[in-house]
Amino acid sequence: MTNLIIDLNNIAHRSIFVVGGYGSKTFTFDSQSEIDQLMRKMAMDTAFIIRNINPSRIIFCQDDSSWRKDIKIDENEGYKGNRVKSKIINWNNVYDAIGEFTDIMQDNGMIVTKIPKAEADDLISLWSQELLIEQEQNVIIVSGDEDIRQLVCSYPSHGKGEIFITVYNPFMQGKNASRKLYVPEGFETWLNTADAVDFMNMKGTINLDKEDFKRIISAERTKMEVVNGNKVAMRKLFCGDDGDNVPAFHTWLNDKGVEVRVTNSKFKKIYDFIQEKNKDSLIDHYILLENVELLKEAFIKVLKFKPLFDVETRLKRQIDLVILDPKFLPEDIFKEFHKTKKEQLDKPRVNYTNLNMYNLLEGTRYVTNKKNENEAPIFKQIDRIAGKALF
């Protein structure tokens, strides 16, 4: 069984960007016409993704205000404190449209999860762990955010072989860009290994999950890329994330008085040093918490400076800011998710074969054309504004 988890905010903001003419035109979303175009664009993108994958279950994860904004960061104004919303956009209208979009998705049998103080990434990590470990089902996360790749992993199921969390980025930006399916090591071998034939049940010999993955890979301009989810997470922990206003693990002045931070090259040296000392374990945040003294040694021997700050306290701060692990989420978010998950999982399954923008929005004011009309003329106004769409 393949589960599709969609980062709703990532989809919505990219749709805003496209409908608004890639920043070349001023779209305020004050008018109903502009909101209509946004709604249809989100529906068109969603239908495209679902058609490509044909999943058994679809889950949308939606941002709320982030609990991480309460974390004190001495180096700057705080988590995502550098982000400034465009003042020309009517965000109330946009958020109302996104809220209506989620209602429509729920009416179409999909799951929408939003929990106070939780970001979409938090919810994606909760659902991924639930589906992979507790339900023993494959997960495909849809997001253009590269940081979500830290969740990519494999897991041994009981009697079913390996199961996987993968990340699908359907957005193509640039002349020779491609869509990406990020997978863990061993995934391609699993995908291309023929399953044993059950002569008593020939229908059961077709692995539908493999067919879902192959459908993505065979789609136009899609490339498969192997990533180490743990290493993606560790790189962000040490190097920080300018986009989220998360500083590097440490910034200091060298002997020439120049400010230096933990960069990718320095991270690699630290990572290799710690990995050499822990040859039997993949380096993750749990290993670091158990080996704080080794981390201090890495700073001294690799970076040639002795930390004057509390390394353990700094490590815990960085974990809270960048690591997507349900065990480190605030308890109220964790409890709220587990209180509602069973009801969501028990929802009747829906067949999404041949889904398109029209039947996704059918019965709403956003689609008034005849049923036999294809999507192209409905979107001719968007095409004129945005040129070639991302999909």
Say whether pLDDT at 388 is over 60: no
Say whether pLDDT at 22 is over 70: no
Task: Tell me what the mean pLDDT of segment 145-150 comes to.
Answer: 94
Cα(137)–Cα(262) distance, integer angstroms? 37
Contact of 29 with 373, CB cutoff 8 Å: no
Cα(222)–Cα(348) distance, integer angstroms? 31
Q: Residues 151-204: pLDDT tens digits?
A: 999 999 887 689 999 999 998 876 778 899 999 999 999 999 887 654 454 554
Say whether pLDDT at 389 is over 60: no
DSSP string covering 62-99 = -----GGGGS--TTSS-TTTT----TTS-HHHHHHHHH
pLDDT reported for residue 292:
96
SS3 30: coil
Cα(96)–Cα(25) distance, integer angstroms? 22
The average confidence (pLDDT) of the chain is 87
Q: Taking the alpha carbons of 48, 52, 58, 60 in that order, is the dihedral positive or negative?
A: negative
pLDDT reported for residue 371:
54
Q: Which domains does the chain have, with CATH numbers?
A: 2-227+330-386 (3.40.50.1010), 230-322 (no CATH)
Cα(108)–Cα(181) distance, integer angstroms? 26
Burial string for 124-150 (b: 16+ CB within 10 Å, else e) reads bbbbbbbbbeebebbbbbbbbbebbbb
215 CB-contact burial (10 Å; exposed 0-12 / middle 13-18 / buried 19+): middle
Distances in whole angstroms, Cα of residue 207 to Cα of each of 168, 258, 267, 289: 20, 57, 40, 40
42 CB-contact burial (10 Å; exposed 0-12 / middle 13-18 / buried 19+): buried
pLDDT classification of 87: cutoffs 50, 70, 90: confident
pLDDT reported for residue 390:
39
Lowest-confidence pick of 14-23, 39-48, 82-91, 323-332: 14-23
Say whether pLDDT at 129 is over 80: yes
SS3 255: coil
| pTM of the predicted model as reported, rounded to 2 decimal places | 0.90
Cα(96)–Cα(256) distance, integer angstroms? 53
Say whether pLDDT at 11 is over 70: yes
Q: Residues 299-355: pLDDT tens digits?
A: 999 888 888 899 999 999 999 999 999 999 999 999 999 999 999 999 888 888 888
Cα(170)–Cα(50) distance, integer angstroms? 11
If phi > 0 it is left, if psi is from -120 to 50 it is alpha, else beta; for residue 62 that is beta
Give the percent of the chain with pLDDT over 70.
89
Task: Tell me what the mean pLDDT of segment 78-92 comes to.
Answer: 89
